[in-house]
Each structure stands twice: as C-alpha cells, then as structure tokens.
Structure 1
Amino acid sequence: MESMMKKLFLMMLLLITALSAGCGKQGQLQNNIEKHAKDTVVLAAYRHLAPGNKDGLYCSRILYVWEPLITKDDNNRPTPCLAQSWEMRDGGKEWIFHLRRDVYFHNGTKFNADSVVANFDRMKKGYKRSSFYGLNMETYYPTLLKYEKVDEYTIRLLFKEANVNELYKMTDFGSPIYAPECFDEDGNFRSVAIGTGPYKITENALNKYVVLERNDNYWGEKGKIKKFIVRTIPNTDTRYAALKSGEIDGVLDINAIPPFLAAEIKKDSNFSVDKNKSTMIRYLSLNGNKFPFNDVRMRRAVSLAIDRKNLVHGMYLDYAEPTINILNYTSPGYKAIPVAYDLQEAKRLAHEVLGDKRCEITYCINGSEPLQKGEAELIAYWLQDIGLDVQIKSIEYATLSKMMRKGEFDIVRVQRGLANGDPFSALYTFVMPDGGINASNRLGYNNPEVVELMNRVKHITDEQERQSIFDRVQEIVAYEQPVIPLFNDMNIVAYNKRLKNYKPLIYGVDLSKVELAEEND
C-alpha cells in the first residue's frame, strides 16, 4: 500500500516539475497582466461555457447572463431571483409566483408575466439538450397541467399531483428566463442569449472564448468589472501555465484546477487558492445486470475494500470529502453516514460470491481527466485483495457513454452534479427502476421498500416527516450500494491576487462581486 502511494505521489511530483519548467521559459509574471486592459479580467475554464445556439441554455448559469425565477442560497435552498415571492396552495397542486418589477432584458424589453409564459411555451415544445443540464418540462415540472398569467407580474402553475418540492426543481437550471425574442419557432435560439443578468454576451467564439460586458441597466447590484473574457483551455497543463504566466487571471467551473496543482500554485505569493463545497459527487458505476455486481454482497465488498480516506488524502490532498452516500453533501436532505473501510469483511463477502475463483473485470475511465488513471490504479490495487483482477481502459467520454448505454462495461468512473438541491430528484435518478442513471448506467437496482418510500414522500408536506423518509432511503442505499460513491468534490479556484472577492460558490464564482484589488488597496 505504501509503495503504491509513493508511486502515485512521484507521478504528481514529476508533472508539477514539468509544468514549472515549462512556465519558466516565460519567466515570472513580468507584468504580463498588463496585456489586459485595466478594466478587463481574463479567466479560463476547461470547457466552453457558452456552447451557443444549439445548446438548450446557450450558456452556463455561472456566466451571470441569464437568471432563473428561483435561485439558491449558500445552503442550496430556494431563494428569490426573478420571482420575489410565492405561495403554495392545495397541498402543492397550485403555485403562485409574484414576479420582480422594474427588470429589463439586455435588449431593453420588459420582464413580466408574458415573458415567463413565453419561456414556458418554449419548454412545452420539447426537450432541449444542453452541455450543462437539459431543459425538460417533465423533469422540472412533473404533472404540470397549466401555466397562466394572472396579471402583469403574477403567474400560476397548476399540477395534476401535489408538487411539494417544486421550488427545489425550479432553482437555477429549472427556471431559466430569456427574452422571448431569442427563440425561433422550434424554441431554439435565433440569436445570442438575451437575459436579465448583470453581464451580457457581446462576442462568442465557439470553443475559443466568450466576452461578457457589464449590464449597466441591471436591476440589482451592478458588477464591479466592466468586461470579462472567459477563454476555453481544455488541457489542464496549458491552463495552469496560462495562469502562472499571467495570460489569465483565474480559473473557474468544475475541474478548474486539480488539487496537486492548487497546492503548488499556492506556494507562489502572486496567487491565491480558495475552496468551497461542490455539487459534484464522484462514484463508480457497477454493471448490476451481470456477474459479479448483480449480487449486493459483491457491491458491498467493493465498497468496503476502498479506503476512501486514504484515497482523498493521497490523491486529492484532502480537497474532497469521502462519502458512501449517493446524495451530495450540499443537498438540504443530506444525511451524514460514517464512511466504512473493512477489508476483512470485504474479503468475506467477496468469497461468498466468487468462492476460491478470481474474476477479471474491466474498469473504464475518462482519459481526459488527469487524475483518474492514478485513482484507478490505486482502487485496482485494493480490489485485487477481494479476488478482482482489474484491467484499466482509458476511453474518450463520448465512446464511454455509448458503452454504458449498451452495458459493455464492468466498472466505470463517473461523476454527477446537482441541477438543484431537491433530494427527491437526486435520489430518484439512482434508486427508482425508471430513474435516469439507474437505466442508462445499467445499475439494475430495484428495492421495493425504497420504491414505496419514494412514492410516499412525493405527497408529504411536513418537512420533518419528509426528511425522515429521505434519511431511511439514504441508509438503505448506503448499505446496498447500487453505485459506489467515492467522494464529494470541492469547488477549487486559483487566481491572481490582482483580483479581489474571487470566492468560489458551490457552483462557479459570483462574477458580479469580483473586483480589481489595486483599485481599493
């Protein structure tokens, strides 16, 4: 075990050395930051954050271009945005939303009930795929019968069944609002996304960069920075080098900077590193439709054989939190469950399934994520103790997704974020027979008690009773492990000290609060 950890540490050390040497060619900062205009901040992400007209959302929420009716507070609970208040009636079958007044879209048109209805009309046209979270009426507004304008600043939603958790479903990606002029007849974008947010898109070069300019007519507190340029730099090494050289001021989005590079850049007095909880959970998806993972004992054996605390400490430098719970730790319904590591019990359970034989399995990873290979090698090292001989395959993500849908795998390393804080939706996709991940990842999970509990909690309005049911579901699933949760991620950001208030949220950074430090210091 110790030799394996030393090997992985040496790999990370060699990578850091190589990156440092590459950056040295450009010298130290040498005022490279002056390449930017004084009132412009340049950031970078691993993916393009404004995929454009073919994307159902056009751009990510973290660009602060569009706003939802309901957003989330620091505890991931629903809080007002474009809807400033609401009422639940008839046990959740009717919801009334009172809209914010004196709000205008970037093109100068007024935000009101008519524009909200137009956005619902658009959703009604059918599912809109997105690089972030798909826009789907059935997902965010299940059993919706009717949406209507009550007056200029009030709308009403009527449901066939009680939707007591509707506010959670509507947060952020569940209720994005755009100027109706954005949409063509099919509900696709005919132009750049026109929202109500503190920043607007003025240029979008796909897979290269997107330019954001401050919306000086914003209804709320206006942004401090006049212009952001958000570059797309997929390669981790290149992104790190750009930050060190001063080509960019900071990184954002998921996978912004890996922990070992965050630890390295933190040593440089020109930069700061900060972290927060993240909605992202990393887990192993096991093919529950075939041997040996169609046996709950084998799934439990795998879970018990993985030393998550050692994994998080050695591979991720404690920039993560070990977990055996499939519900992310930012969800208001989350129950803390002790992380179990018991190799002897894992061996006993595996022997009950395998006998004295060994089993060869394929462990697939996403080749574009730099730490997955080392993580897989460590986990494979542990799994050999329970009779599993692991072959690691690095595969491009699109191919990997197709393999999973076809069931052509044994183990796949996967990740999942929370579109909203709703514990019901987050659990449903894993544990219900028709749940999206249960089906697409071939989990084969079906527990009658869990199904009964999930069907019952849908209609319960008492928060304490709802939480009790969610707790029970989490306990069952933590024992049966339809997937093997590894750790809850952290949102890590690194940035030049030229910036101030560059603080990570549970998703992204609040760009409207970012300032230039020298203006105030």
Structure 2
Amino acid sequence: MRFLRALFLLILLTAVAGCGQRAEQGESEHAATDGDTIVLAAYRQLAPGENDGYYCSRILDVWEPLITADEETGEPAPCLATSWEMLEGGRVWVFHLRAGVRFHDGTPLTAQAVVTNLDWMAKEPRSTAFYARSRKTYYPNLVHVEALDELTVRMTFSQPNINQLYNMMNFGSPVYAPSCLADDGNFSGVAVGTGPFRIVENVKDRYVLLERNENYYGEKARARRIMVRSIPSPEVRFAALKAEEIMGVLDLNAMPPVLADELAQDERFAVSTSRSIMVRYLAMNGTRHPFDDVRMRRAVSLLINRRLLVDALYLGYATPTMNLLSIASPFYKAFPIEQDATEAKRLAHEVLGDRRQKVVYCVNGADPIAKGEAELIAYWLADLGLDVRIEALESPMMTAVMRRGDYDMARSQQGLPSGDPLYVFNGFFSPNGTRNKALSLGYDNPEIDTLLAALNTEPDEGKRRAMFDRIQAISVAEQPLVPLYYDETIAVYNKARLTGYRALRYGVSLREVNWR
C-alpha cells in the first residue's frame, strides 16, 4: 500500500511541476481580488449560469430551499418553510413560510412567489450541472398548488405522497425571486435568491463573485466578499494553494486524498472532512455479455478488495460500501463488506468457462484517481478471465458512449439531491429509470418494481422503512452495478489566513468563513 501511495503522489506532483506553479488569472479576477476578497476554488464552475436549471450550486448559499437537511441526521429540517402539515393521508401538504424574508432584489418572500417557482419548475426538462431539475421528480402527482394567504402554501396531489418532505429537501425545493425566472424555464439574468450571499459577477468557466447579503434575515455571512474560481486540474489547485493564490478548495473532488495529505504536512494548511453524499460505483453494461449475467456481476463485486482500494488510494478518506444509497440518507442500511476471491472465480468460470473475455473499462480522463483505481481493478479482474482495456474519455463523450451501450464497465458516482431514496431507486432499478437507461444497465427485477409501486401509497412509516431495506438488500445481492465506497468531503484551507472553514456533507460552511 505504501508503494501505491508513493507512486500516486509522485504522478500528481510531477503533473504539478509540468503545469507550472501559478493558476492562470485574467484581469477581472485580479481586479476583483482585493485584500478584502477571499478567493477559493472548485474543480468546476459552481454557477454555470442562466441556462442551468439551478443557475448555481446550493453550496454557494445564494438560493435557499423550503426544506433542508439536518446536517447530523439527514432528516428534513426547516429553511424557508418553518412548519408544515400533512393532510388527507398525504394527498394535501400545507407549508408555512418564514416571515420577514426578502429576496436579493428587495421583494418579499410570499406564498405566491413559491407558487410561481413551482409553475416555473414545471417547464421541464432542464439539465443542470448538479441534478436534473424536474417537478415530476420532486413533486410526483402534484395537481394543484395555491397560496392560502401571504405565508401559507397548499399543495394537492392526486394520490398520497407520504415522502414529500424528503423529496423537497435542498435541490427539491429551491426558491428564487420571480423577477429572475424566464418564461422558457431558464433564468433572465443572475439568479436572485434569499441566501446570505448574492452574486455580483459571474464569468463562465472562470469564477463567480459573491457578496454578503446585508439584508439577510438570519445571521449574516462573516466574509464581505468571496470569489470561487473554476480550476479543473487538481494539480493546479494544489499549486495555487501552496502559492497562496487561493485560500481553500470546496465542492466534490476538491482535493485528491494524497495531495490533501501532502498539504496537511505544511503548517499553513488544515484538512476538514465530513461524511459525503457521494457514492462511487462501477457501472456494468447489463445489455450484453458477460454482465447481463448476475453471476458475473457478483463475481466482480466479490473479487474487488474495497478496503485495500480505500486504504491504498484514498488514505482512509472514504469508506467501503456494498450499497448504492448514500449514507447521508436517513434510510441507508449498512451491509457487511463481502470479499471472496475463490467464490468470485467460481462464479466467473460458470459464465465464461475456460474462455477469456475482452472488456472496455471507461473512466473520466480528468480524474487522476479514477485512472489509478482502474489500473488496480483491471489487474484484479484478470483473475476472472477478463482482459480489461481502459479508455480515458472526456465527460460528454463518456456519457454518450454509456448511453449507446458501447462499453462494458465504467466508473461513475451518484449523490443524493434530496432525502428521498426513491430518487436513486427509481432511477437505477426501475426498468425505465433514467439512470438505468443512461448506463445501459438493462436491470429489471419484478419484486423491486412491486415495492416501488407500493411505496407511492403506503402511509405506515415502519412498513415503508422495511420496503426501503428490502430494495437495498436485493440490490446488494444482485449488484446491477458495483458500489465501491462513499467518500468524504475533503476541504483543505489555509488555516493561517482563514477561520470558520468547515467541511459539510455537501460543500463547506461558507457563511462562517472569514479572514483570521
């Protein structure tokens, strides 16, 4: 394991030297970066702009949802809605809004503004850089939404919607000022929310500049201005931190574990971690041989040494799992990690006999960890009679290849946009699920289909939890895909310069960040 760590660190640090020690900046970035502005970085643009379904990520604290998630338990918690009632067995939900809230444009948060947002959300589909924005997904069977008074919203559904609070958490119930919502379902200018920060400048693929909302209804953000730059290369983010061009990193894939560990040796830096919402997995093309056979999928799962993978490449910044559902979900069920090379080889031989099978293993070429991980997994899979060819692709190409079914295996990931497990289960395990189709999983289990249908109407919490447990148990046994681990949010920052920098399940405590 020490050899693998040392080799991986050498590869990344060599890349840093090859990239140079400075992250490229334009004149606007220099102009905006005065002594009062805290500069951070993410691997992607966190505010993709007007044609993105959310305009910007939740972690920027620009927009807020009606319902958020408790950071400790993952259960629904108040945000713009302070209380609610479920009526008529889940066919009617009534939400009471927080008083005294104003959008960044000065207009008040009202029940009618929420109705306008839900009508706008229905203009689907809308692709986003984060999660698909779909009213049908987050408000299934919604037939009517109305403002009962200035601060009360009533939603009526055609059938019981017991899980509605979980559906609406975070990305399920964003609320924007009606003034920034375009008729076509996009944005007409900058996203205007109610959060502790407002957007003052957004340059595509370069940076987004945030300014404190001085009229925020709650505790105000501590920093006056924060710039979040887009720096795709982890090596360049590493170099920018070392050179103090940026003060911290955030978002998914903020810093590879090996580089985070290296930075932690420097007394200027600290690493804050938190349980993440992300699960990394191996997708397998279930529409063609050999992964259309459950025995081969189980063989792959049993052969992979998840603990070695996590320890060798992730330095403990991840936890092995057999379950696709994120541990951030309050419905997550833990299963023992199974690793049995003898049984794996037996199952693979039942499928292949004495023949060897060539397989194509796709990875995101911009992710150095995924490439190193693929080399290790490919080495193991040779013992099953699988001769692996790794293809590093750009993300759009990889998506197209997987949807066409022109691959055998691929490394991917899944988060949890709301608290509802049905988002994941319907997407991956239903035969017509969006992820099932997009990954060419070809998975269909009649028992899971029956359970998914029953969960739409079952009001009893205990029975619902038992159904969720059963779906997870089936997926672990049949492995329509192979979950590997759930990772941690790794937030590296300059502790000599900043205070209040704390990793959350999704992002960092941005409103608490300030100069030391």
Task: Report if the CA contact (8 A) 1:251-1:257 is conserved.
Answer: yes
Task: Report if the CA contact (8 A) 2:363-2:390 is conserved.
Answer: yes
Task: Report if the CA contact (8 A) 2:15-2:235 is conserved.
Answer: no
Deviates more, 1:127-136 or 1:102-111: 127-136
Which of 357, 381, 386 matches 2:355?
A: 357
Deviation at 1:18, TM superposition (A): 5.9
Deviation at 1:20, TM superposition (A): 7.1
Number of aligned residues: 507
Unaligned runs of 5+ in 1: 27-32
Counterpart in the other structure of 1:66: 63
Deviation at 1:36, TM superposition (A): 5.2
Give matches, 1:379-418, under 5 Å. Answer: 379-418=377-416
Counterpart in the other structure of 1:332: 330
Code of the aligned partner of 1:150: L
Counterpart in the other structure of 2:89: 91
Deviation at 1:462, TM superposition (A): 2.4
Which of 485, 488, 505 matches 1:487?
A: 485
Which of 171, 176, 191 matches 1:173?
A: 171
Over residues 81-132 of structure 1, what are the superposed CA-to-partner deviations in whole Å (9 max), with x where a residue is unaligned? 1111000011111000001111101111111011111111211222222111
Matched, 1:53 2:50: yes
Deviation at 1:434, TM superposition (A): 1.6
Which of 30, 37, 40 matches 1:40?
A: 37
Deviation at 1:476, TM superposition (A): 1.1
Counterpart in the other structure of 2:508: 509
Deviation at 1:64, TM superposition (A): 0.5
Deviation at 1:12, TM superposition (A): 2.4
Code of the aligned partner of 1:514: V
Task: Report if the CA contact (8 A) 1:43-1:252 is conserved.
Answer: yes
Counterpart in the other structure of 1:30: none
Which of 200, 203, 218 matches 1:220?
A: 218
Which of 202, 207, 222 matches 1:209?
A: 207
> 1: CA distance between counterparts of 2:290 and 2:447?
23
Give matches, 1:71-220, under 5 Å. Answer: 71-74=68-71, 75-220=73-218
> 1: CA distance between counterparts of 2:200 and 2:33?
17
> 1: CA distance between counterparts of 2:130 and 2:492?
22
Counterpart in the other structure of 1:29: none
Over residues 134-186 of structure 1, what are the superposed CA-to-partner deviations in whole Å (9 max), with x where a residue is unaligned? 22111111111100111111010000111111111111111111111112222
Task: Report if the CA contact (8 A) 2:8-2:258 is conserved.
Answer: no
Deviation at 1:516, TM superposition (A): 2.1
**TM-score, with structure 1 as normaliser:** 0.94
Deviates more, 1:328-337 or 1:460-469: 460-469
Task: Report if the CA contact (8 A) 2:4-2:312 is conserved.
Answer: no
> 2: CA distance between counterparts of 1:321 and 1:244?
28
Deviation at 1:457, TM superposition (A): 2.2
Code of the aligned partner of 2:482: I
Counterpart in the other structure of 1:438: 436
Secondary structure of 1:473 counterpart: helix
Secondary structure of 1:371 counterpart: helix
Code of the aligned partner of 2:509: D
Task: Report if the CA contact (8 A) 1:68-1:173 is conserved.
Answer: yes
Deviation at 1:7, TM superposition (A): 5.3
Give the 3 Å change call, closer, same or farther, for CA 134–18 of structure 1 in structure 2.
closer
Task: Report if the CA contact (8 A) 2:4-2:313 is conserved.
Answer: no
Give matches, 1:306-321, under 5 Å. Answer: 306-321=304-319
> 2: CA distance between counterparts of 1:437 and 1:60?
21
Which of 232, 251, 264 matches 1:234?
A: 232
> 2: CA distance between counterparts of 1:400 and 1:70?
34
Deviation at 1:25, TM superposition (A): 9.4
Deviates more, 1:287-296 or 1:459-468: 459-468
Task: Report if the CA contact (8 A) 1:179-1:194 is conserved.
Answer: yes
> 2: CA distance between counterparts of 1:109 and 1:423?
35
> 1: CA distance between counterparts of 2:395 and 2:11?
26
Deviates more, 1:141-150 or 1:423-432: 423-432
Task: Report if the CA contact (8 A) 2:362-2:411 is conserved.
Answer: yes
Deviation at 1:60, TM superposition (A): 0.7
Secondary structure of 1:168 counterpart: helix
Deviates more, 1:406-415 or 1:181-190: 181-190
Give the 3 Å change call, closer, same or farther, for CA 83–147 of structure 1 in structure 2.
same
Give the 3 Å change call, closer, same or farther, for CA 72–25 of structure 1 in structure 2.
closer
Code of the aligned partner of 1:6: F
Give the 3 Å change call, closer, same or farther, for CA 39–343 of structure 1 in structure 2.
same
Which of 494, 501, 507 matches 1:496?
A: 494
> 1: CA distance between counterparts of 2:388 and 2:18?
35
Task: Report if the CA contact (8 A) 1:23-1:244 is conserved.
Answer: no
Deviation at 1:446, TM superposition (A): 1.1
Deviates more, 1:117-126 or 1:142-151: 117-126
> 1: CA distance between counterparts of 2:76 and 2:382?
45
> 1: CA distance between counterparts of 2:13 and 2:151?
55
Counterpart in the other structure of 1:460: 458
Give the 3 Å change call, closer, same or farther, for CA 14–409 of structure 1 in structure 2.
closer
Counterpart in the other structure of 1:283: 281
Secondary structure of 1:118 counterpart: helix
> 2: CA distance between counterparts of 1:246 and 1:413?
33
Code of the aligned partner of 1:515: N
Code of the aligned partner of 1:331: S
> 2: CA distance between counterparts of 1:286 and 1:48?
29
Code of the aligned partner of 1:76: G
Deviation at 1:67, TM superposition (A): 0.7
Deviates more, 1:208-217 or 1:10-19: 10-19
> 2: CA distance between counterparts of 1:122 and 1:213?
27
Secondary structure of 2:368 counterpart: coil
What is the RMSD computed on CA atoms of the aligned residues? Answer: 1.8
Task: Report if the CA contact (8 A) 1:8-1:374 is conserved.
Answer: no
> 1: CA distance between counterparts of 2:197 and 2:237?
24
Code of the aligned partner of 2:306: R
Counterpart in the other structure of 2:27: none
Deviation at 1:39, TM superposition (A): 3.0
Over residues 224-268 of structure 1, what are the superposed CA-to-partner deviations in whole Å (9 max), with x where a residue is unaligned? 000001111111111110111110110000010000000000000
Identity of aligned residues (%): 51
Task: Report if the CA contact (8 A) 1:329-1:488 is conserved.
Answer: yes
Deviation at 1:14, TM superposition (A): 4.2
Task: Report if the CA contact (8 A) 2:257-2:317 is conserved.
Answer: yes
Task: Report if the CA contact (8 A) 2:68-2:78 is conserved.
Answer: yes
Over residues 290-346 of structure 1, what are the superposed CA-to-partner deviations in whole Å (9 max), with x where a residue is unaligned? 110011000000000100000010011111111111111111110010110000000
Code of the aligned partner of 2:262: E
Secondary structure of 2:128 counterpart: coil
Task: Report if the CA contact (8 A) 2:112-2:146 is conserved.
Answer: no
Secondary structure of 2:9 counterpart: helix
Over residues 252-285 of structure 1, what are the superposed CA-to-partner deviations in whole Å (9 max), with x where a residue is unaligned? 0001000000000000000000111111111111
